[in-house]
Amino acid sequence: MSKILRTNPNPILSAAVEYHGFVFTQGVVARDLEQDVEGQTRDVLAQLDALLEQHGTDNTRLLQAQIWLKDINDRDKLNALWSAWLPEGQAPARACVQGILADPRMLVEIMLVTTK
């Protein structure tokens, strides 16, 4: 039976779950919720870089991304940062929707699936 590796588990979630060479991240939000959507997005992408690196992978191996924005009108600002973060030709399958996030100060949340 293949081992399931859970990173920083708590009673309701793990920061990431690795199984059979796949890495599934939690929905990552900014640490400083006083930032604007661009600041929060930069922080989320940096956290995702660190989490992927911890699992021996990176954003060249993305398979899927799910993105939630508090305000879908911020999509262009998010996309500018997202496009700059992605290596050329490595865009994953992606959904980007407006949603009600857990804290009203949260402006963006991103969850990834990648492979090693």
Residue pLDDT, tens place only, 19-70: 999 999 999 999 999 999 999 999 999 999 999 999 999 999 999 999 999 9
Query: What does pTM read for this prediction?
Result: 0.96
When divided into structural domains, the chain yields a total of 1
Other residues' Cβ atoms within 10 Å of the Cβ of residue 39: 16
Provide the percentage of residues in the chain whose pLDDT is more than 90: 98
Mean pLDDT computed over 80-93: 97
Residue 84 pLDDT > 90, yes or no?
yes
Residue 1 pLDDT > 80, yes or no?
no
Residue with tokens 């995702």: 48
Which pLDDT does position 2 carry in this prediction? 84
CATH code of residue 24: 3.30.1330.40
- The Cα–Cα gap between 104 and 75 comes to 17
Average pLDDT, the chain: 97
Q: Helix and strand tally (H, E) in the chain?
A: 2, 7
- Which residue segment(s) compose the domain that 87 sits in? 5-115
Antiparallel, parallel or unpaired: β 93-98 and 62-69: parallel
| Per-residue DSSP letter, 3 | -
